[in-house]
Amino acid sequence: LYQLSRLQISGDIEVNIAGKRHYTWDEVSAEIQKNLNRKRYLKIFVPQIILYPVAFIIEGVSRMLNIAPLLNRFKLVELLQRFWLLDCSRLYDSIGFKEEIGLETGIKETLSWYLENGWIKGE
């Protein structure tokens, strides 16, 4: 897993760029757990054959309730990938990019936005 940042280039083009460090799903989960003040979490393995119908149902229910789905078929494709790696070294070298937001800050800001906008509920 990699962290994306948005970069505006000459006002015309927006690109995604990743930080230099790659993170595992376990590292991301641990950071989320820490920021939600959870002592532990339960890791459940669900067969892929079940996940797509579940995502489809969640999309339908979310549409009826007029709320954003936390899981949909498109997000599922991303989540099921074992690796998402990105090498931006040529871009770093050409524009002198320096990562400003690390995983800890990125997770903290994202969770804060989710809480404020009612996508997740806090304790």
Rounded distance between C-alpha atoms, residue 42 and residue 47, angstroms = 16
Question: Could you tell me the pTM of the whole model?
Answer: 0.59
Q: pLDDT over 90 for what percent of the chain?
A: 22
Q: State the sign of the Cα–Cα–Cα–Cα dihedral 13, 85, 20, 112.
A: positive
What is the pLDDT at residue 36?
85
CA-closest candidate to residue 117, choices 79, 67, 64: 67
Q: What is the pLDDT of residues 45-80, one digit of tens each?
A: 889 899 999 999 999 999 999 998 988 999 898 888
What is the pLDDT at residue 20?
77
Residues of the chain with pLDDT under 70: 1-16, 122-123
